[in-house]
């Protein structure tokens, strides 16, 4: 028998049993409903009879008052009661147990009515003793018949109520027995179906617990649906086939494992050699990158020395004039001093650019907001000696045009971006052996800031263009390392950007550096520090072993309205220092008696809440020393009044920065 037949028999039996039980229940409910209706009708009839009997009692009282007591003014009331009593009798249904009782009662009441009218009107014939006697007899029959009807109705109502109670109990008992029988039938069907289905299912379950390598279970044939038996047979056959396949594959894998062990031993030796080669390659690559940077730095230094000597010309010349000729007019004197100050600031910017270029671009810089146009201007200024110095010895003319129009901000490393732009500028200079034009522009394209460096030089062939971004590829022979464009591409990648290159032989090359721009954000505390005033009550200690520098910085502080205490002997100052004596200590980094970092550490141990500024002309290497924990601000020499003022006004909780 199939599983479908099993399920059909089970559902058919359940459906037939349920339908039978439902039909019987419906018939019982219909019978009870009819019994309830009959009992209700008898109850209503009994209540009506009792009401008629009560009305008859009231009529008899009024009749006696009119007929026997002579109170004739109650006659109309008696006639009305007699009429209502007649109507009430007419509304009663004909009772099967006494079908003539109601008509007889109505006839007797009609005979009483004539006597009552005679008594009301004073007619001697109608109200004679004989008629009155007959009326009394008619009323007695009516009373007797009504009492008999009430008694019969009450008996019939009690019998029907008792029968209804008995039938209700019988129905509940029968219904409970039917439900028990139906439940028993369902239980027997479930037990039968379970035994028919559970056997084959248990056989399948036993087979499914088989594990590879264990003994193959014996297939047991049990009665049940045909489909389950077929499934059990298929699983058993599959297990037998699987066991044979596993044995064959195990033998094959044993041979492969032995071969793999031999290969693994040889790989260990190869991995050791490869790790050593990778380490050597890393050191070589770092050395080549450093060589590329130092080569560019060397080319810049010759031009910077030329520019620096030019800057010194107005400083030395005008200062000599001012010293030799004290009679110069004040306006002319101020004009010469302004020129000297401007030249000194230019020299400071040259040194700052050289210091910025000397910072290593090893990818360890923290991400910062970068004004891209400012970085481009710095890169052009740093690379300028490359073509200016060569113009002095090589008969060619190179012009550089800047078209900066993005005014955009990116997040990243200023040093990485600056180095990439300098490399692009150097490549453009090398591509102009006979002179030409280099155009540097910035723009915004969607979510990117685009820096384009374009020249009208020799250009590149398709083959060269394809290979130019590969490390160590160079067309400059011994003059190049082949890392310039590779470093540019790497800088773009670590800033989530890309490099696009277009070149035509004889027409020039255009390199576009695309970097994701930063969405402008509103800055808090936008009030310029130039509008703030430094409190004259600040107690400042200035320490420097160079007395000329010490006096110059003290003059700056006095110009700001402060009265600093100065010292050129840091050890003596430490011996006399007390907690709470000063608000700010400004110390030089390099001093013969003690270093500025050690001096700051000792000051911090004496005055934990004091602010300490470090003055230095050497920024390199400071960012990695643990001694900076005692420093609040780093001030780079030479320092202007504005930078010194900003440092003093800066929030003491601000992060360590170099100003």
Chain segment 200-254, per-residue pLDDT in tens = 666 666 666 666 656 666 555 655 666 666 676 777 677 777 777 877 888 888 8
**Spatial strand order in the sheet of 448-455:** 398-404, 436-445, 448-455, 508-516, 498-504
Give 554-574 pLDDT, tens digit per residue.
988 998 889 999 999 999 989
Interval 163-173 mean pLDDT: 80
Secondary element (H or E) of residue 512: strand 508-516
Q: Are residues 543 and 465 in the same domain?
A: no
- In a domain, residue 313? The reply is no
Q: Are residues 613 and 502 in the same domain?
A: no
The pLDDT-based confidence of 590 (bands split at 50, 70, 90) is confident
- In a domain, residue 151? The reply is yes
**Strand boundaries in 382-456, DSSP class E:** 398-404, 409-412, 436-445, 448-455
pLDDT at 567: 92
pLDDT at 509: 92
Model pTM score: 0.40
Residues 113, 115, 118: CA angle, nearest 5 degrees: 110
Q: Are 220 and 200 in contact (CB under 8 A)?
A: no
Instruction: Classify 513 as helix, strand or coil.
Output: strand
Cα–Cα dist 372/188, whole Å: 88
In this structure, what CATH number is given to the domain that contains residue 584? 3.40.50.2300
In which residue are the tokens 């028993």 written? 184
- Is the pLDDT assigned to residue 656 strictly greater than 60? no
Phi, psi of 455, deg, nearest 5: -130, 160
Q: At what angle do helices 226-324 and 372-393 cross, to 10 degrees?
A: 60
Q: Are residues 490 and 545 in the same domain?
A: no
Q: Are residues 166 and 33 in the same domain?
A: yes
pLDDT at 522: 40
Q: Are residues 560 and 606 in the same domain?
A: yes
- Is the pLDDT assigned to residue 60 strictly greater than 50? yes
- Is the pLDDT assigned to residue 533 strictly greater than 70? yes
Cα–Cα dist 563/557, whole Å: 7
- In a domain, residue 472? The reply is yes
Specify the number of domains making up the chain.
3
- Residue where one domain finishes, among candidates 481, 516, 551: 516
Q: Are residues 378 and 409 in the same domain?
A: yes
Least confident of 204-208, 270-274, 630-634: 204-208
- Is the pLDDT assigned to residue 527 strictly greater than 50? no
- Is the pLDDT assigned to residue 393 strictly greater than 60? no
- Is the pLDDT assigned to residue 455 strictly greater than 90? yes
Phi, psi of 448, deg, nearest 5: -115, 150
- In a domain, residue 261? The reply is no
Provide the residue range defining the domain that includes 448: 365-516
- Is the pLDDT assigned to residue 15 strictly greater than 70? yes
Interval 526-550 mean pLDDT: 78
Q: Are residues 26 and 86 in the same domain?
A: yes
In this structure, what CATH number is given to the domain that contains residue 25? 1.20.120
- Residue where one domain finishes, among candidates 134, 161, 184: 184
pLDDT at 637: 81
DSSP conformational letter for 435: -
- In a domain, residue 280? The reply is no
- In a domain, residue 85? The reply is yes
Interval 127-151 mean pLDDT: 75
Instruction: Classify 503 as helix, strand or coil.
Output: strand
Q: Are 498 and 484 in contact (CB under 8 A)?
A: no
Q: Are residues 543 and 614 in the same domain?
A: yes
pLDDT at 542: 93
- In a domain, residue 386? The reply is yes
Q: Are residues 171 and 73 in the same domain?
A: yes
Instruction: Report residue 109 as tokens.
Output: 């009441």
Q: Are residues 484 and 569 in the same domain?
A: no
Q: Are 544 and 591 in contact (CB under 8 A)?
A: yes
Q: Are residues 510 and 570 in the same domain?
A: no
Cα–Cα dist 370/417, whole Å: 9
Q: Are 67 and 132 in contact (CB under 8 A)?
A: yes
Cα–Cα dist 239/257, whole Å: 26
Distances (CA, A) of 300 to 98, 341, 387, 533: 142, 24, 10, 41
- In a domain, residue 656? The reply is no
- Is the pLDDT assigned to residue 445 strictly greater than 50? yes
In which residue are the tokens 């020129």 written? 339
Cis peptide before 161 (omega within 30 of 0): no
- Quick one: residue 56, left, alpha or beta (phi over 0 = left, psi -120 to 50 = alpha)? alpha
Higher pLDDT, 80 or 582: 582
- Residue where one domain finishes, among candidates 146, 166, 184: 184
Q: Are residues 598 and 480 in the same domain?
A: no
Cα dihedral value 182, 184, 190, 195, nearest 10: -150
Cα–Cα dist 51/75, whole Å: 22
Give 105-127 pLDDT, tens digit per residue.
777 777 777 777 777 776 655 55
């Amino acid at each position: 028998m199939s599983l479908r037949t099993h399920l059909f028999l089970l559902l058919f039996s359940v459906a037939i049993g349920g339908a039978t039980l439902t039909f019987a229940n419906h018939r019982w409910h219909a019978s009870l409903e009819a019994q309830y209706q009959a009992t209700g009708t008898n109850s209503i009839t009994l209540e009506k009879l009792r009401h008629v009997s009560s009305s008859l009692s009231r009529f008899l009282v009024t009749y006696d008052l009119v007929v026997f007591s002579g109170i004739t003014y109650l006659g109309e009331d008696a006639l009305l009661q007699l009429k209502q009593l007649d109507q009430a009798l007419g509304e009663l249904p004909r009772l099967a147990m006494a079908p003539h009782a109601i008509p007889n009662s109505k006839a007797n009441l009609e005979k009483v009515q004539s006597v009552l009218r005679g008594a009301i009107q004073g007619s001697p014939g109608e109200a004679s003793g004989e008629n009155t006697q007959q009326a009394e007899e008619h009323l007695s029959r009516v009373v007797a018949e009504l009492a008999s009807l009430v008694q019969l109705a009450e008996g019939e109502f009690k019998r029907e109520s008792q029968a209804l109670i008995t039938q209700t109990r019988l129905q509940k008992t029968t219904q409970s027995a039917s439900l028990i029988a139906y439940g028993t039938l369902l239980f027997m069907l479930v037990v039968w179906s379970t035994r028919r289905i559970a056997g084959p299912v248990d056989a399948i379950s036993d087979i499914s617990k088989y594990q590879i390598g264990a003994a193959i279970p014996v297939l047991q044939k049990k009665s049940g649906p045909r489909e389950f038996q077929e499934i059990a047979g298929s699983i058993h056959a599959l297990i037998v086939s699987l066991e044979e396949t596993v044995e064959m594959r195990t033998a094959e894998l044993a041979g492969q494992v032995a071969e793999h062990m031999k290969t693994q031993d040889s790989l260990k030796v190869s991995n050791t050699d490869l790790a050593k080669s990778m380490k050597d390659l890393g050191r070589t690559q770092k050395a080549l990158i450093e060589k590329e940077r130092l080569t560019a730095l060397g080319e810049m230094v010759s031009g910077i020395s030329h520019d620096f000597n030019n800057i010194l010309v107005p400083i030395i010349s005008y200062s000599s004039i001012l010293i030799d000729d004290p009679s110069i007019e004040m306006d002319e004197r101020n004009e010469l001093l302004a020129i000297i100050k401007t030249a000194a600031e230019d020299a400071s910017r040259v040194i700052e650019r050289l210091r910025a270029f000397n910072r290593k671009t090893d990818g360890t810089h923290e991400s910062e907001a970068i004004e891209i146009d400012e970085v481009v201007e710095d890169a052009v200024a740093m690379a300028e000696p490359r073509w200016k110095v060569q113009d002095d010895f090589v008969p060619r003319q190179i012009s550089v045009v800047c078209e900066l129009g993005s005014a955009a901000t990116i997040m990243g490393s200023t040093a990485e971006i600056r180095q990439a732009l300098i490399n692009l500028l150097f490549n453009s200079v090398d591509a102009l052996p006979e002179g030409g034009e280099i155009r540097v522009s910035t723009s915004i394209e969607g979510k990117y800031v685009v820096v384009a460096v374009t020249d009208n030089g020799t250009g590149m062939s398709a083959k060269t263009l394809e290979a130019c971004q590969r490390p160590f590829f160079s067309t400059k022979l011994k003059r190049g390392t082949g890392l310039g464009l590779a470093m540019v591409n790497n800088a773009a990648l670590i800033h989530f950007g890309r490099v696009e290159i277009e070149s035509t032989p004889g027409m020039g090359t255009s390199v576009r550096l695309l970097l994701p721009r930063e969405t402008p954000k509103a800055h808090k505390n936008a009030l310029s520090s130039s509008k703030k005033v430094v409190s004259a009550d600040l107690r400042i200690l200035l320490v420097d072993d160079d007395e000329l520098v010490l006096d110059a910085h003290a003059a700056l502080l006095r110009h700001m309205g402060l009265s600093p205490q100065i010292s050129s002997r840091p050890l003596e100052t430490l011996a006399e220092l007390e907690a709470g004596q000063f608000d700010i200590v400004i110390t030089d980094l390099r001093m013969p008696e003690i270093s500025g970092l050690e001096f700051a550490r000792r000051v911090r141990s004496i005055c934990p809440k004091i602010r300490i500024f470090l003055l230095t002309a050497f920024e390199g290497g400071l960012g990695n020393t643990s001694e900076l924990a005692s420093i609040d601000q780093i001030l780079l020499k030479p320092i202007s009044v504005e930078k010194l003022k900003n440092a003093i006004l800066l929030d003491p909780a601000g992060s360590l920065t170099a100003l």
